Structures are given as C-alpha cells and as structure tokens.
Structure 1
C-alpha cells in the first residue's frame, strides 16, 4: 500500500523537528521492490529519548520477511505492530545477527495487509552508542540468493508467496553426503490459507543450488504431464549447505507450500 511520504526531518539551526508520527497516522511507508531480492529502506532520526518513528508496510501472508534497524550513533530498537497499531507482534533491541547494537526481526504474516514498523532507541544504550541519533530501517523479503536468512528443516511444510514474475525465494538446508531427500512445492491444499481467499501459485518451480549459490544441481517445473506442482528426488553429493529455490514459471504468482 502506498502512502504520501513527506520529508523525514527539518533542520533549523540546532533544532531538529520530528515529522514521523509514532502511530498509525504516519504517512511514511516502505514498499518492497520487485524481483528476487526485493527490499525497501528509509532513513530517520531519534531526536529525543523515547522517540518512536512509524512506517507503514504492506505484507503478503505466508511470505517470510526480515526487518532491520541500523543505527548511526544510536542504539536502535525495532518493533512490528498490527494494522490497528494496538498489538505489538514482535520486538528486538540487540541482535547478534544484525550487529550487537542493531535490531533485527523475522516475521511471516498470517494475513495480507498493512503493518507498522516502529523504529526507536534502547533505553539502556550499549557502550559507544546513545539514545538519540540517526538510523536506517530496511525491509527484505526472502532473498533469491545464498544470502537468504530462511531455512528449511526436514519434514516441515513452509508456506510462502511469489508476488511478482521475478520473485524467487531461497531456503538453506544442511545435508550429509549420500543422504536422500524429497522436496516438493504445491500450489493448492495448503491448510494455512483461509477458505475463499486462496490465490495459488499456479505453476511453481523448484531448484537446488550448491553451497555458494553458483551451480544449479537439480531443477523441476512440472511433476508430470498432468501435475503442475514441482518435485525433486535429491541425493546430496557432499557434506554441507544447499539452497532450495522456489519460483513461478513464466509470470505465475501466488501462494505456495514447500514440502521438505
């Protein structure tokens, strides 16, 4: 969902006037770009201790997203709120994955809609940081390369969404040499979808890449002439990390279920 985005801040002498509200009235938004590595980013400033800046963002159910708040002098926090701004869905202050003084969230919504990211500062800043300063908030969908943060555990179903023709979702998994795996992607029969609102990925594709994400080891489009879902029988050639690559054939978009 698009919002009208005014200037982030106005400097006048030594005074900084905050123009980003801390509630659902905000006009600031993040819109994740198309393609296999879609992301959105914006900058702001925590002007006084306790300041919170809210950004609206439209999320697709089943997609796994990563949100990060990187501080410039400030020890940032990040929280995620529902569409009404009344329920906090997640919160992070210091994340080892995002840098100890940065904030990182991973979230998969159960419904399409507008959510709100709230950028703030820790009330107890880490050494070398403060409760005020600049920040950069970034939103990612599942990357379409080896930088992915999404993992695929054995015997698990993973819901997802391909939301444009260039979108690819990568999931990492570890295997020992000689281990046999069966992977599949289906576009129907996923119990996480609400009846009557299923927009299936009509023609899913599935690939398996090596640990560097540079060599395609296996690929399937249609299971057979009568089944447009994807299925791969795979025996790992070495001990290490591999990547599952889910996409849509042609311009196919919609919801899928990855079976591992």
Structure 2
C-alpha cells in the first residue's frame, strides 16, 4: 500500500474536513527531516563525551556556564543553515488558508516542542512549549537580551541590566514550561475536535498529556509518525514521515 492509497490517510481527511477546531502538536521528528539532530541523538565532535541531559540544566549552567553556553552556541551553528521541509510548508499553507478564509470554518492551533524556528520560517505562527533557541535572557534577573549574538563566539555574554550571565531561553530539565504557552496549549487541547501528533513519541511530559486531555474531551487523535507509538489514545495512525504525509493530506483536503 502506498501513501496515496492508505486508508488511514483517507480516514484522517474525512475527519479533518468536518473539524472546526484542530490542535496540532509537533515534535523533533518534523525537524529531523530538515537535518536537525533530535535532542536524544548522540552528540558529535567535541561534545561526544557529553550527554545532552547533563548540559541542559540550571545546575550545569551554574557549575560551568561557559561549557553550557558553548554547547548552545554549537547547536545554533548547527541549526542556522537548516531550512523548512515540505511538512513545515504544508502546515503553514494549511494555517494560512484557515486564517485567510472570509468565513473561517476551521481554527488551527500549532503547538511545538521544538526550539528551532523552522515553523516560522515556513510562515506559520507557533506556540513554543520548550522555549526558542534564538532567544536569550539573563540567568539572574530574567531580563530578555535582544542584542545580536554571533554563533561563532563562545564567550559568555553579560546582562546589560545586572551583569549576570545571559543564557538561552530554553526550558531546561527541572524548569517549568512558559506559563502563557502552556495555557494556550491546554486550551487548544481542551477545545479541539481533532488532535494531531506529528513527529513526536509522546513520552515527554507534560506536553505528552495534551493528547490525553483532548481524547477525554471527545477529540479524535491522529498520529503522523514513521515509528508509531502504539498508544491506546490514537484513533488514526499514519506511519509515514511528516514530509510525505502532510503534503498528501492537505492536497486531499483541497488546500
């Protein structure tokens, strides 16, 4: 069976055509198709001896701020030349169509666990649950740091307001999700007719609980992932890469 004749794709199309409120959660898999390593991938180069989990915490930053800052500068350098793939473009086209309609029949909420800006590059408006790689703030006073930072430099940057070290605006282990972003995600999941999980294993909480919330409120749960999670929450599984499945999906939706 090919994607174009996949019965689950057809089922998803029918469900989505009748949906008024759609909540979409994207994860590392969609960005991996653009060549961005997932957070759980083995580190490379100078970072091969480190685990990502040991660098992404406030304790690690307090212990050795230059080490953690250097790692994030390396991550930024790895990401800066990456471009949106067909999945990002398909979601942007879908979202823009729903906004431009004279009488919008659908409300499309895009929530992402990714810290890159590929959704925005493609033209989408996304809510970032785990922060944004290209934003920074002071580790002491919390003041946003908006000046340009050269990804080629590993020198620590000091806050203009208090002199504290600037850190990436990323949600580290042990930190709370951004309150506003989490409220948007919860409301979208609470009120949706269809919840779509794309390129995420649904094991990272609290984001993974959004599908459960949607399901409890009567939503149909659709998963797009070449490695299905076999979750009992999923109603329709489309076991293909997002870069293949999403263009096919919006094509059949007539967008």
- Which has the higher relative contact order, 1 or 2, with Cα contacts under 8 A spaced 6 or more apart? 2
Higher normalized helix content (fraction of residues): 2
Higher normalized strand content (fraction of residues): 1
TM-score by length of 1: 0.29
Q: Larger Rg: 1 or 2?
A: 1
TM-score by length of 2: 0.30
